[in-house]
Chains A and B, each alone.
Chain A
Amino acid sequence: MRITVTRSGGFAGIVRNATLDTRQQSDAAELTDLARTALEEGRGAPGPVVPDGFFYEVEIDGEMLQWADPHLTAAQSALVKKVLGEGSPGGAP
């Protein structure tokens, strides 16, 4: 499973982007489960934009999703943190 996260907005307005391939992760099964949960919970419209809030564009195996702070579920929040923290920068298709 390939996951790309682009985070924009925020007080600083600095864009961050990273991609993670679960097949290259030691916790692949756990991460795939987390991504599936995040996906199930995150297919609807993002909540209302708040000033300086982070905005996330997430691609999970080709499916595009949009999430906005502070409306992320625990799974969504854990997933974006994991991908931005451990993924490789960039990763645009």
Chain B
Amino acid sequence: MNILVYLEERNGQIRKPSLEAIGAAHGLGGTVSVAIIGSAPSAVIDQARKLNVSAIYTASEPRLAEYSSSATGCALAAIAKQAGADVVLVGATGRGKDLAPRVAIRLEAGYVPDVVALSNEGGDIIATHPVYAGKAQMSVKVTTSTKVYSTRPNLWKAPKDSATSEPAIHAVAVNFADSNFAEQTKELILSQGKLDVAEADIIVSGGRGMRGPENWPLIEDLAQAFGAATGASRAVVDAGWRPHSEQVGQTGKTVSPTLYVAVGISGAVQHLAGMSSAKTIVAINKDENAPIFSIVDYGVVGDAFEILPALTAEINKLRGH
């Protein structure tokens, strides 16, 4: 089985979800190659050499100095054909979730988005895809000969730099159409110094129980102690206390962090759907009958306004701050 993994880069570095996709590829077994596409892909080739892959395919195009999903999809499909890929894996990032379906259409391939598990059962690949924001999950088999999947971040281990042999490097010439550049990414504006809830390993979320936006420093202090991102329930986003980008739940972000701390969140079905795949779940709530307590690993029944500062101090102590 030939598996091709797309390597997404940001600021000259291969992004972690792409490395995790290599981890997923090794889990399936087979020959693993990677694709690097950009205006000057040579910048990340050296990083890719250290990965344990058998080949590196590159496509270089000056117009890709301004990222285009359409052009990148065109190039990745061309590379998949040249590499004879049976499986194409793309990390399910903001860009990856646009890219993978394009490749599926171009290769006439079945596609399963945002998979959380991939297994090879006697040659049949079974992909697990959460649906209804994680309230259920589907096992899906792709029935076309070429198969495309995007893999959810934070679930597979990135391979260690352990290349034992030098991978073969192939530069692929791609026939782009002008229409591939009808969309161009002009700039990426990063929110300064803020961890994104969708990518964070630890999340501290606040809900109605925080009583008002003026009390958010308590959430932010605990988040800082953990090195966590801050999240919010739908109720507080709808009330305008916190930005949409922080909302966790069915109409917000679906997250799978190592640790999720819900403070003053009662636990509506749509919120639980967005975070129930977290490895460890903690809730702090005044109401011991709050539904959130039914799905936690650890819960504290008590006043968040007293517990948060005390917990922040404890975590700072543990982490040696």
Partners in one complex: no
Residues of B within 8 A of A (CB): none
Residues of A within 8 A of B (CB): none
